[in-house]
Every structure is written in C-alpha cells, then in structure tokens.
C-alpha cells in the first residue's frame, strides 16, 4: 500500500487515480489554500529527499571529536547552534514537521467514521439517483432518507435507510455492504442488485433481489437470518411477525427507479397497491363493484398521478378524485351514490 508521500507525488504528477484521487479532489475543493498546502508539502518532501541523497557524514571526524570531549576536563560544554538546513538535527526536525503536516491532511482526507462525518440524502419530493464513494449505484424513492459515511474505512460499508431504495452494490468480498433499516433490521450483501422498502410508518419490510444473494436479519432477535436469492422476495409483517417468501416479484418493485409504472391485467386490489406505492398516496375504493370488475393493463413512463387517473377514466371506466393525500376510486355508474 502506498504511503502519503507517494500518494501526494502521484497526484501532483497527474498519476493518481481511483479512490485516492477522489478523496484528494474532494479535500482540495473545500478550500483553495488546501491545494497550495499540498504543493508546499510536496516541495518539502522533494527537498528533504535531495538533501538525504547528497548528505555524506564524516563518521571518523565525529568519533575523534567525541573522544576529545570525553577526555576534556572542561566543566562547561558548548551547545551547537547550527540551524542550517544541512545540519542533520534540523533535517530531522523538518522531517518530523512534514510528517505532522501530512498526518493533519490525512485526518481531513481520511476522516474517522463519526456521526458528524456522515452524509444524508433526502428524496422528499422526487426520486434521486447517485453513487457512493465505493462505486455503489443508488436510487432513492420519494420520501426516503439514506445516511452514509463520507468514506468507507472500516471492515464493512454501513449505511442507514428509511424509505425505499434500489442498490447496485459494488462487489467487495472483504468489506460487506450493510444496510440498517428504519425497523432496525440488517441487510447484508457483498455485491448484488436488490430493492428494499422500509418506511418508518409501514407495518411491513420488503426485500426483493434482482441479482445475487441478500442476507436478511429482521430486528427480532429470535429469528434466524434469511438468504434471499435472485428472483425472490421476502416480506416481514411486523403485526403478525411473519416473514413471507415468494418467487414472483411485482415488476414495479424494480421499475419505479426508472419512473415506470406497469399494470398487467391487474385487479382492483393490485391497482390500489400499485398507485399507493408509486405515487405515495392513500387509495380508497368507494365502489365495491370495482373489486369484481376491474382489469387494467397499461404501462406509464414518466407520468403523473393525474395522467394515470385520466387514462383509467377514459379507458377503464374508473373515476377518481384526489383530496390532499388520498385518492378515491369508483366505477362509472357509481358517481352519484358514492358522492353522498
């Protein structure tokens, strides 16, 4: 592993890449003086290295001087006041000071993982897509919060999620990726693609795997961990305390990150759930007949709730009205009765 001298030299010579370059870029961007300090350190290191190469001490002469001092009967001694840069003592002090400066920079480039060093992404109004510093690709659904450290320096890559997120985790066998959910459950992977839904006010927690394997440990201490594989979905019902596993996954579990709502011959109950999850509204059916007659097929890409409801009214005979965060649905022959 390279030490800081090599990292700094590589960076200033344009040879730096990967995580070191990203961290140094981030540190420099905080303050223009940081770049100047970095160059000064590099110059001092070069000067110290050059002097170390040219320095050739006369050990014989030093030995003779020591013998003279030992044999001398002088009661007082003279203290050397040679503060030139070629003085070995001064060079030692300069080297120590350089190390201290580098250590100070290291503290800012590689900060300790304390709560103050954690970053927060809040997708309150819209979906958000971004990358973590290990290359992990993240999509956050509306109303979600992800907290993560500025850098993953520990034995694991820990993040905290409240809401819904889709993760394409960069593989690292030696540093597992761990998500702590809003219900204090633990999801652990080493490199895979999966969706997790865990809003604070939900009574369920759901993990669906697109690629790889996910290890899930719900917050109930008595429950063993569950391995969820590609194409599987696991849902923990907190009220019944049951974990249900299925092999089929609703396509909207993954397509929401691309802002696509898919309805494939769905019944009224599925339509309710899909609208609630996709648009984060409460759906109430005012016409029980819809549970027997509803059958909708459509794909909506980058469409608003209003667009979807207009389509349902025109092509499926389903009327709707939105009041605050609640969407009411009824059939085309029920409008007058349902309004009462």
Return the top range by mean pLDDT from 33-47, 155-169, 249-263: 155-169
Q: Report the candidate in 157, 155, 156 with the shortest Cα–Cα distance to residue 138.
A: 157
Mean of pLDDT values over 146-165 = 94
Q: What's the rounded Cα separation, in Å, for the pair 175 and 148?
A: 15
pTM summary value: 0.63
Lowest average pLDDT, out of 42-46, 87-91, 169-173, 288-292, goes to 87-91
Rounded to the nearest 5 percent, the helix, strand and coil shares of the chain are 35, 30, 35
- Indicate whether 205 pLDDT > 90: yes
Is residue 149 within 8 A of residue 140, CB to CB? The reply is no
Q: What is the pLDDT of residues 43-83, one digit of tens each?
A: 776 777 676 666 666 666 766 666 676 666 554 444 444 54
Interacting residues of 2 by C-beta distance below 8 A, sequence separation 6+ = 10, 20
Q: What is the pLDDT of residue 78?
A: 46
Longest dimension (CA), the chain: 120
Element containing residue 161 per DSSP (H, E): strand 157-168
């Amino acid at each position: 592993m390279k030490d800081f001298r090599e990292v700094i030299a590589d960076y200033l010579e344009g040879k730096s890449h990967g995580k070191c370059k990203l961290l140094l870029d981030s540190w420099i961007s905080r303050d223009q003086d940081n770049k100047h300090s970095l160059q000064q350190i590099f110059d001092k290191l070069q000067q110290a290295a050059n002097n170390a190469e040219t320095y050739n001490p006369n050990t014989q002469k030093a030995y003779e001087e020591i013998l003279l001092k030992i044999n001398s009967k002088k009661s007082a001694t003279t203290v050397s006041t040679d503060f030139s840069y070629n003085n070995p003592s001064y060079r030692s002090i300069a080297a120590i000071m350089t190390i201290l400066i580098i250590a100070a920079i290291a503290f800012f480039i590689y900060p300790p993982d304390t709560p103050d060093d954690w970053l927060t992404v809040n997708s309150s109004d819209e979906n958000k897509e971004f990358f973590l510093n290990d290359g992990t690709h993240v999509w956050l659904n509306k109303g979600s919060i992800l907290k993560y450290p500025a850098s993953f320096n520990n034995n694991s890559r820990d993040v905290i999620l409240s809401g819904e997120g889709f993760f394409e985790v960069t593989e690292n066998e030696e540093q597992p990726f761990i998500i702590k959910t809003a219900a204090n459950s633990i999801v652990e992977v080493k490199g895979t693609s999966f969706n997790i839904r865990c809003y604070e006010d939900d009574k369920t927690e759901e993990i669906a795997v697109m690629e790889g394997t996910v290890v899930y440990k719900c917050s109930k201490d008595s429950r063993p961990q569950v391995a969820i594989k590609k194409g599987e979905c696991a849902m923990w019902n907190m009220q019944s305390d049951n974990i249900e596993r299925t092999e089929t996954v609703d396509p909207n579990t993954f397509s929401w990150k691309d802002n696509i709502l898919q309805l494939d011959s769905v019944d009224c109950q599925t339509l309710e759930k899909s609208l609630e999850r996709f648009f984060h509204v409460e759906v109430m059916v005012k016409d029980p007949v819809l549970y027997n007659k509803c059958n909708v097929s459509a794909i909506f890409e980058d469409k608003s709730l209003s667009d979807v409801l207009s389509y349902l009214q025109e092509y499926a005979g389903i009327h709707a009205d939105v009041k605050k965060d609640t969407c009411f649905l009824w059939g085309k022959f029920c409008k007058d009765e349902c309004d009462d």
